[in-house]
Amino acid sequence: MRQPAGRSARRSGGERKPREERWAELIEVATQVFYEKGYDGASLQDIADRLGMLKGSLYYYIQSKEDLLFDVISSVHKDGLAVIRARAGVEGPPLFRLRSVIVGHVEHTCRNLVPTAVFLHELSALPLERRVEVLGSEHAYQGVFRDLIESAQQAGDVRSDLDPRLAALSVLGSTNWVYRWFRPGGSFTPEQIGAELAELTIRGIATEQGLGTV
């Protein structure tokens, strides 16, 4: 069973670890409480009450509220990163794969609004060293976009005057903002939003040659 990210070195190897189902429930409930009340406004008592357990029982799983936020944030980041890495690994030219990554990122965001909101709102509540631990020193999530843009640029498919890092930040900034205005059951589906944002992005950075690859 996966050892939760914030629990390293807390218990000896011989002690019983929490059941995976209970840990998953804790993460889900904590995510919802942080979403509703914000990290500063939420308490471990709130989370324990929602789970129907004593507050003291939470300390079997975590050492502090900060540890729990770290585990929530890590879980959100890990899930999203798995989605875009899978999309980046499809066959095809880098610009084609970038389109796939953008669509996947947007669709994942639309279908995970609460975890996304907690990640984007509360990441800054963690100390810097713990934020780096989540994101990776090279910002792994951003790096998927940057590497594809850089590869497409080297192939002559993206304009040479663009900085890949700035372009990646621009793409992430615009696509991340979807969580603020998307409404399930509204006028636009996640698929429509992903496709249109990908189209706008690709047409904004691609050369004529690059447009022929997507």
pLDDT per position as a tens digit, 168-204 = 999 999 999 999 999 999 899 999 999 999 999 999 9
Within this chain, do residues 58 and 77 fall inside the same structural domain, yes or no? no
Q: What is the pLDDT of residues 69-99, one digit of tens each?
A: 999 999 999 999 999 999 999 999 999 999 9
Residue whose tokens read 């696509």: 175
Is 4 within a domain? Answer: no
Residues 112 and 166 in one domain: yes
- Write the DSSP string, 79-134: HHHHHHHHHHTSSS-HHHHHHHHHHHHHHHHHH-HHHHHHHHHHGGGS-HHHHHHH
Domain span including residue 83: 65-211
The answer to whether position 6 is within a domain reads no
Tokens coding 114 = 């609460």
* Pair 119, 56 in one domain: no
Read off the amino acid at residue 42: A
- Evaluate whether residue 3 is within a structural domain: no
Chain-centroid distance of CA 18 in Å reads: 25
pLDDT > 70 fraction of the chain, expressed in percent and rounded: 91
The larger pLDDT score, comparing residue 16 to residue 169, is at 169
Number of domains in the chain: 2
% of residues, the chain, pLDDT over 90: 79
Q: What is the mean pLDDT of the chain?
A: 89
Give the pLDDT mean for 2-21: 48
Quick one: CA dihedral 35, 39, 41, 42, positive or negative? positive
Q: Mark whether 38 and 89 lie in a shared domain.
A: no
Q: 201 and 117: one domain?
A: yes
Alpha-carbon gap, residue 4 to 18, rounded angstroms = 10
DSSP structure class, residue 6? G
Task: State how far the Cα of 163 lies from the Cα of 188, in Å rounded to an integer.
Answer: 31
Q: Give yes or no: residues 29 and 69 share one domain.
A: no
Q: Tell me which of 4-18, 60-74, 78-92, 143-157 is least confident.
A: 4-18
Res 154 pLDDT > 60 = yes
pLDDT at 15 over 80: no
The confidence score (pLDDT) of residue 21 equals 84
pLDDT single digits (tens) 25-51:
999 999 999 999 999 999 999 999 999
Residue ending a domain, choose from 62, 91, 116 = 62
What's the full length of the chain, in residues? 214
Residues 130 and 78 in one domain: yes
Location of structure tokens 């500063």: 40
Q: Given this model, what pLDDT does residue 16 score? A: 46
pLDDT the model gives residue 60: 87
Judged against a pLDDT cut of 80, whether residue 14 lies above it is answered with no
Task: Please state the rounded mean pLDDT for residues 110-127.
Answer: 95
Higher-confidence position of 181 and 9: 181
**Mean pLDDT for the stretch of residues 144-157:** 96
pLDDT of residue 20: 81
Q: What share of the chain is helix, strand, coil (3-state, %, to 5)?
A: 70, 0, 25
